[in-house]
Amino acid sequence: MKSARWFLLPALALASAFAWAQGSGPTDPQIAAIVVAANQADIDAGKLAESKTHSKDVKAFAQQMVTDHTGVNKAAADLVHKLGVTPEANPTSDSLKQGGAENIANLKPLQGAKFDRAYIDHEVTYHQTVIDALDKTLIPSAQNAELKALLVKVRPAFVAHLEHAKMVQSSLPQAQ
């Protein structure tokens, strides 16, 4: 069964942010690309969930993901434009893009409770990994004070998303 692999790919991509060389983390342009890729993966999954779920709780969560992560990407885009920084693709951002596409491809054929469970389970894992990446790699590695401040500012939203996802997860029936 390939589900374990696709389910963890985006989380593993973020975890690979921890694998930067011991003394130096990602550069600010690389962090910008990671932030955009991580948010876009969640926006895409949220849009799919909005269109597929019949659960009002899952739909409300998905709508919040699309709205909030679109806002973070806009804030990041505005900041990098202001700073004159061009996001720089890197193995982590590339892996996030690939993992996000694989997540969508694997969620698309699922229906009903199976879809809802797979989507929400992924969101719990994904948001926990994002928080870990923010705390252990992205915030400590950010050199620009405004970029660091943006990452610190959005962190509580990721924590709230994780708690919301866990609440929805606990209310879902086990998929058969």
22-32 pLDDT, tens digit per residue, is: 446 899 999 99
- CA distances to 1, 12, 24, 122, 145 from 125, rounded to whole Å, are 19, 10, 26, 5, 29
Q: Considering the domain boundaries, does residue 166 fall inside one?
A: yes
- How many domains does one find in the chain? 1
Instruction: Provide mean pLDDT across the span 7-16.
Output: 51
CA–CA separation, 78 and 82 (whole Å): 6
Domain of residue 55, CATH code: 1.20.1260.10
Give the residue from 171, 135, 168 showing the smallest Cα distance to 154: 135
Instruction: Provide mean pLDDT across the span 61-71.
Output: 95
The domain of 55 spans 27-171
Secondary structure letter of residue 142 according to DSSP: -
